[in-house]
Structure 1
């Protein structure tokens, strides 16, 4: 597989609309990121992951692409992105882009051409069309549910959407092609082949301009199957296996990271890692406080990282074991949060509780991904307006995790010189909102803790992404060994907790607070955490 560097990476996710506005229009841009790269570098991270920055009408915050080869004008130009990649490289930082592979915007020229055609393209349709709905047709008005949408143009029939109606599904074929539904293409029909070539062309365009790889949105939704079956996800991995074979010679250092966990099919893997996102059960069972809402596939029960101490690590550990079963060396990404759900600091979680959470996220055997602003403990803000599709079903609002970065105590928290009414989303109105400038001056701040944890990880191979992780106690306090040389303990609840651990004689506390070490075990204060080097 490509990109062995990924196993040692520490990722920083930037939602470009909300990071830094350099031109005063109220929306973040690439020049704003360049202006703040020294802050990113100061964290010790070596990889930036950008949410989609391609041209788009922004019905779904850029996840509706109208031109894969052009930076959206709100962010700047292709030259600006090239400058950013070079400026990041000078600081030892790689850049990953977000590839929306499964659908485009209805404004994409490809869709407009098919919409205004009389029938199927002689080259093979890029999108999924049918003139008569099948008896099993999926029917849902909720975003996020694939469904048929009546053609709004001259072409008769319906097209298949992936998320919003404005996001028509690209045609990568079907797992079944019954004779009575001739509109279904097989995997190797002309339309799916065109789209597979398109993916290679897009990757080649940006990788040739210095990008290090891609995180792929809806990576396993490409090949379709009938509702209720799971064959499509497994079939979609064939698309990525083909691309990996090409990357091995064309761009051998590039990486592909999926949205989610890759299905194990018994064949070669199509991606270089798995990604346990915040909306997935493994992450949600640890950190979900329900700030953005609750989705149907999220696990019931209490979060483990909660002051009441009623949760369990079992869902996470089972998922971790499954991800590592076939290849213990395969990287697994785990984020503090991301653009689709609640932040790490969501009420009732307080700043005091962040130390245990960040210690876990930065010393477990994952590739950690820090969501912009989590390094200072920015809050998830409830009750914000629907912005560019942020409310994608009732009671589920993503705006609260997409608010502007809080740099200092100047107007708009230093994010933008625009009028407050022109900002992409409102600034946290709290008088005590955390800022980078204030936490720079406070050695006990969340910002300094993140820097110390990343620096310790960098200096200690046993705490990185390659050494084995062995659970010593899966309850409170959660305790594990990294390699043969280090033990980490976190107590996310408000009450103290103790655990018996053998072999601690001579152990040295490298980083932490509220941890008492004895020859027989550990006692950890409420919200305490510690990283120990064994004697």
Structure 2
């Protein structure tokens, strides 16, 4: 994949499509992956919470959409303190979601449909109900059991202060004090997230061996690979040094805390992934590792996708880039060049279960920082503008070479639930921020499948663990399927054309001949892509044929604002 600066369409060499032996032969470099958030995708048993049988019943819709793989957020046995990212047993399915037999059936059905299955792995922390953590609490200070986690004595005269000034990503301190068997205050344990999510000690060989065993367990059951949660956090800086600039709220200093703190992106974390890659390379057909790593600069992120480590790493810098032509061009160029330096593709993403959906995010005024959820009393997105921009952004993303991830429901144009009753919120960020940050519930609302069914067809009883906003009725899948111009049909067409024109394994050549700094224009093989990110229409190239557009074009030869087209 390469980025070439050019000024005219005529100077660009058209790619004829993927050839044998090209990157197109490796699905890990080009796949479009659909994220399933199990509790909100489809409910099979009617309890209002999505589950594996519900997913099985709807996999055909994803094959029909045209994706290559699915990624399942955690379904492991868990007390659900953080929606399953607090794992009590890495080798079992929580009864909330089904059984191991259900998982086996899901993999078999997906493979029959030509879909790969990627599962979430949560290696930075476990649940406090994990048997090893319970053993650590019972064994006491200095025991081998405690060495599997990060326990420390407190500071102060009586150990009453935390061991350092680190804060939790869910707000508040990153340390919780234990109670000894005799009722006296004990040591502290580290949790970069919720108090019920103690961090593993990845310096301990037993922890490393345990996770290699977990990987093998799921690979042997047919999983095609893993999305690795908080992949940049496993190794902490020696001595657990204080933050140089103490903060109470990570959002007040996101770059300093999330990117550069002593708990993130330590060089020795790559030892872990080299050992994992060696394990995956033993399996056939090819298996995948994808990093969730909020790392800057891009050169540091590229370290995770070196030839002997992971195959993909989410491009969160791109996700956070404002709707601005110059900013997007800079981000795309830097991303491709950085990954190309290590021979890796770029992995594009616009939405997931942790961020405000891009159909809402792009409808907010200005280009301020991305909010952590939107409440009823906050500034509300412009729904029409947000959806128009989201469609344009998606068509732009799907034309880029590399791999792309879609978040469930974005193919329907779903917005966040921005007026959710605060009393119904379940994200731990909500209460750990002392009820000031909405958190992630708004993007996790159950999907609408059928407009006229109870619960919009989410399950057989009409129950939904979070209420669906009114806007979801008209956006239900059955209202869009086969309807020209619908967001669903825009996605289906884009995914079909992406495959037909070989855009995933293609190349990127910038072009500047539409005469506007507000237009992002490039060539990938036979396809010319133009996105008008400005406020006024621009003239399209004469003689070019439009093969796809994010909205219906006016017919006067112009490209309207907030619109993307594919031309040949």
Under a length normalisation based on structure 1, what TM-score does the superposition of the two structures give? 0.82
Q: How far has the Cα of 1:497 moved from its partner?
A: 3.1
Alpha-carbon displacement from aligned partner over 1:107-146 (angstroms, at most 9, x marks no partner):
1111000011133334772101112349970243662677
Q: 1:508 aligns with which of 539, 545, 549?
A: 545
> Which shows bigger deviation, 124-133 or 66-75?
124-133
Provide the rounded CA distance (Å) in 1 between the counterparts of 2:44 and 2:164.
Answer: 47
Match of 1:316 in 2: 331
Contact 1:514-1:525 at 8 Å conserved across structures:
no
Give the C-alpha shift of residue 317 in structure 1. Answer: 2.9
Higher strand share: 1
Tell me if 1:202 matches 2:229: no
Higher RCO structure (Cα 8 Å, ≥6 apart): 2
Judging changes above 3 Å, is the alpha-carbon distance between structure 1 residues 206 and 386 closer, same or farther for their aligned structure 2 residues? Answer: same
After superposition, give the CA deviation of every residue in 1:159-197 in whole Å (9 maximum; x if it has no partner). 111211111000013xxxxxxxxxxxxxxxxxx211111
Distance 1:382 1:265, change over 3 A: closer
Q: What is the deviation of 1:528? A: 2.8
Q: CA deviation at 1:431?
A: 7.4
Equivalent of 1:433, from 454, 459, 474? 474
Report what 2:425 is aligned to: 386
Q: 1:127 aligns with which of 125, 133, 149?
A: 149
CA contact (8 A) 1:20 1:416 kept: yes
**2:483 corresponding residue in structure 1:** 442
**In the alignment, what sits opposite 2:413?**
377
What's the counterpart of residue 478 of structure 1? Answer: 520
Q: How does 1:49-448 map to 2 (within 5 A)?
A: 49-122=71-144, 125-133=147-155, 137-140=164-167, 143=170, 147-154=174-181, 156-173=186-203, 192-225=204-237, 226=241, 227=243, 228-229=261-262, 232-250=265-283, 253-260=286-293, 263-264=301-302, 269-276=308-315, 280-286=316-322, 303-304=323-324, 312-314=327-329, 316-317=331-332, 319-321=334-336, 323-327=338-342, 329-346=343-360, 347-350=381-384, 351-384=387-420, 385-389=424-428, 391=430, 393=433, 394-409=436-451, 410-418=453-461, 420=463, 423-430=464-471, 433-448=474-489
Runs of at least 5 residues in structure 2 that lack an aligned partner in the other structure: 1-22, 156-160, 244-260, 361-380
Cα distance per residue 1:290-336 (max 9 Å; x no partner): xxxxxxxxxxxxx33xxxx8x73255235414532413x41222223
| RMSD over aligned Cα atoms | 2.8
Alpha-carbon distance between aligned partners in 1 of 2:173 and 2:329, rounded to the nearest angstrom: 31
TM-score (norm 2): 0.78
Deviations 1:437-473 (A, max 9, x none): 0101412211111000000011111x12x21112224
- Aligned pair count reads 477
Secondary structure in 1 matching 2:44: coil
CA separation in 2, counterparts of 1:60 and 1:333? 26
Structure 1 residue aligned with 2:537, among 496, 507, 515?
A: 496
Structure 1 residues 493 and 153: CA distance shift in structure 2, 3 A: farther
**Distance (Å, rounded) in 2 between the aligned partners of 1:318 and 1:480:** 11
Structure 1 residue 85: deviation in Å? 0.5
